[in-house]
């Protein structure tokens, strides 16, 4: 009697759960780790790309002797304003100068309202770049060169923010200092 009651309860519970069907896995083929790959397997396009043909298509990729005289919006390259981006772990500082180097605009993440550790984030760098780009457009700067200096989280997002702000970027230069005589490392920790 008790077994029949258990069976009926079990069947009723199982019938309610049968509504949720599971299908078999689509990829039934398993990866064999011990198999040695054939010669043609690997990264697709690994041997196909010819670097010389790519560089011939992009002729103006690298500067030449005449690139200082190229015109961008009617202004020669050598007299375009420069946006210096100083990126550190703790802050990102933007400075827009004219071609001679006199400072026209300066902005940092701290000026924009970010405090403490938030100053060093890439979001802070991007929003500060957008704000300085709008101020630069108000001053009449449309086309600029960018010079990035330092290693920090806001390197790429700073350039992206300048583009999002409406500035046309002609070139991006990395001016990070490389120390050929670095400071002496700390002594080894004793355990």
Give per-residue pLDDT as tens, 83-121.
999 999 999 999 999 989 899 999 999 999 999 988 989
Identify the pLDDT of residue 105.
93
Residue pair 87/155 in contact by the 8 Å Cβ criterion: yes
Q: Is residue 70 part of a domain?
A: no
Angle CA 58–64–49, to nearest 5? 30
Count of the separate structural domains present in the chain = 1
Q: Is residue 85 part of a domain?
A: yes
Q: Is the dihedral of CA 93, 99, 100, 102 positive or negative?
A: negative
Q: Is residue 61 part of a domain?
A: no
pLDDT, tens digit (0-9, with 9 covering 90-100), for 1-39: 666 666 666 565 555 555 555 555 555 566 666 666 555
Q: Is residue 154 part of a domain?
A: yes
Residue 104 domain boundaries: 80-174
Whole-angstrom distance, CA of residue 24 vs CA of residue 107: 58
Q: Is residue 112 part of a domain?
A: yes
Q: Is residue 130 part of a domain?
A: yes
Residue 70: is it exposed, middle or buried by C-beta count within 10 angstroms (0-12/13-18/19+)?
A: middle
Identify the pLDDT of residue 174.
92
Q: Is residue 17 part of a domain?
A: no
CATH of the domain at 165: 3.30.420.80
pLDDT, tens digit (0-9, with 9 covering 90-100), for 130-188: 999 999 999 999 999 999 999 988 889 999 999 999 999 998 999 999 889 989 999 99
Identify the pLDDT of residue 147.
94
Q: Is residue 26 part of a domain?
A: no
């Amino acid at each position: 009697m008790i077994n029949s009651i258990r069976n009926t309860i079990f069947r009723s519970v199982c019938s309610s759960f049968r509504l949720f069907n599971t299908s078999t896995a689509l990829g039934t083929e398993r990866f064999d780790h011990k198999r040695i790959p054939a010669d043609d397997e690997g990264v697709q396009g690994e041997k196909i790309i010819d670097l010389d043909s790519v560089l011939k298509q992009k002729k103006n990729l690298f500067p030449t002797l005449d690139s200082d005289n190229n015109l961008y919006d009617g202004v020669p390259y050598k007299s375009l304003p420069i946006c210096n981006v100083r990126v550190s772990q703790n802050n990102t500082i933007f400075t827009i100068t004219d071609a001679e180097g006199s400072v026209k605009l300066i902005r940092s993440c701290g000026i924009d309202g970010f405090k403490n550790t938030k100053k060093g984030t890439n979001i802070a760098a991007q929003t500060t770049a957008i704000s300085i780009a709008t101020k630069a457009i108000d001053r009449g700067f449309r086309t600029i060169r960018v010079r990035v200096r330092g290693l920090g989280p806001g390197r790429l997002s700073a350039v992206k923010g300048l583009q999002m702000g409406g500035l046309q970027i002609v070139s991006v230069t990395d001016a990070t200092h490389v120390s050929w005589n670095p400071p002496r490392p700390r002594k080894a920790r004793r355990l």
